[in-house]
Amino acid sequence: VKSSGKGHYQFFSREMNLAIRRRLRLEHSLRKALEHDEFHLVFQPQVSVRQGTVIGMEALLRWRQPHGEIIPPGEFIQLAEETGLILPIDEWVLRRACAQARSWVDAGIRDFRLAVNLSGRQFHRRGLILLVGRILSEIGLEPRYLELEITEGSVMADIDRAVEVLRGLRQMGVRLAVDDFGTGYSSLSYLRRLPIHTLKVDRAFIREIATSTQDAAIVEAIIRLGHSLGLQLVAEGVEQPEQLSVLEDQGCDSVQGYLLSRPLRAADATSLLTSGRMP
Ligand code: C2E
Ligand code: CA
Ligand code: CA
Ligand code: CA
């Protein structure tokens, strides 16, 4: 931090200074992370409530620094968004995920989808549709295996443009999900404009679903609404059998969460998909 004039230093407390230095250090190592091959993906199963079968996986990014420390995405995605580093990172994730999906198809696994998170910045960048198309054809993956997850927040940032981009992606044959549904700007009327396949109910509502009648009512309303629009419903963050049982009663299609499985390394995800059932 440079002094932009006399006396400006004194506004920074020691804690702020430490926070800024930590952030700069993190930004510096984040810039190197891609070229040093420090990222990998893990895969969390999505399980059909009715059948108990694995219907797909969500790819989640992991960053292992050279000294072995694993930094969770919660600690660097936002910084990556702010610095623009998210663009090459998301592109790497998309390529890696599609390559993984291709290898599952090659192994004879046909009944799955692989969900990939797109940051708001990636979603709103020009040329996204071309980029996705190029990656799919480079890798030779049929689009229907890929599901792109876009948060409610990034859809709402520019709804008209969002609808346009989603249409283009859908035309290509890619599946589309709105992630973290119900958290932000929740204007329900916009939902019917979105050409999506899946709604993911945010963990915040699932947490108390077995103990709070209010939260249970909210989730039930989201599921009804989603179904009436022809969407598939996925609940995230399911940790307890009681939560699963409420979701089953409410007709939720599939669930994701520690109760069913933590995110898995590629090899374990592959065996699970091969067997098709939860152990
Ligand atoms: P998200 O997309 O909502 O992903 C779900 C997060 O919840 C994951 O955290 C997952 O590990 C965690 N989770 C799954 N089941 C449970 C559960 O039962 N209980 C609890 N408490 N947590 C559960 P993770 O992997 O740390 O990712 C955090 C967020 O970082 C993601 O939230 C997503 O917004 C972002 N992210 C992760 N990978 C990527 C990526 O490749 N690209 C982008 N742009 N964002 C990513
Ligand atoms: Ca997600
Ligand atoms: Ca989510
Ligand atoms: Ca989230």
Residue 73: which pLDDT band, with cuts at 50, 70 and 90?
very high
Cα separation, 29 vs 33, in Å, equals: 6
What is the structure's pLDDT at 17? Answer: 84
- pTM as predicted: 0.93
Q: Which ligand is nearest to the CA of 149?
A: 2
The preferred substitution site among 60, 180, 183 for testing ligand 1, maximizing ligand atoms within 8 Å of CB, is 60
What is the structure's pLDDT at 121? Answer: 92
Q: How far is the CA of 2 from the centre of ligand 3 (A)?
A: 38
What are 81-129's pLDDT values in tens digits?
999 999 999 999 999 999 999 999 999 999 999 999 999 999 999 999 9
Q: How far is the CA of 111 from the centre of ligand 4 (A)?
A: 26
Q: Which ligand is nearest to the CA of 73?
A: 1
Cα separation, 236 vs 251, in Å, equals: 15
Is the per-residue pLDDT at 1 higher than 50? no
Residue with CA nearest ligand 1 atom 8:
60
Cα separation, 72 vs 2, in Å, equals: 30
Is the per-residue pLDDT at 201 higher than 50? yes
Is the per-residue pLDDT at 187 higher than 80? no
Residues of the chain with pLDDT > 90: what percent? 80
Q: Which ligand is nearest to the CA of 44?
A: 1
Residue 46: which pLDDT band, with cuts at 50, 70 and 90?
very high
Q: How far is the CA of 179 from the centre of ligand 3 (A)?
A: 5
C-alpha to C-alpha distances, 134 to 89, 123, 137, 140, 247, nearest whole angstrom:
16, 16, 5, 10, 38
What are 16-41's pLDDT values in tens digits?
788 888 889 999 999 999 999 999 99
Residue 189: which pLDDT band, with cuts at 50, 70 and 90?
confident
Residues of the chain with pLDDT > 70: what percent? 95
Q: How far is the CA of 186 from the centre of ligand 1 (A)?
A: 20
Helix (H) or strand (E) holding 28: helix 14-33
Q: What is the mean pLDDT of the chain?
A: 92
Q: What is the mean pLDDT of residues 60-83?
A: 93
**Which residues lie with the beta carbon below 6 Å from any ligand 1 atom?**
44, 60-61, 72-74, 77, 90, 93, 117, 119, 179-180, 236-239, 256-258, 263
81 Cβ partners below 8 Å, 6+ apart?
Answer: 119, 120, 121
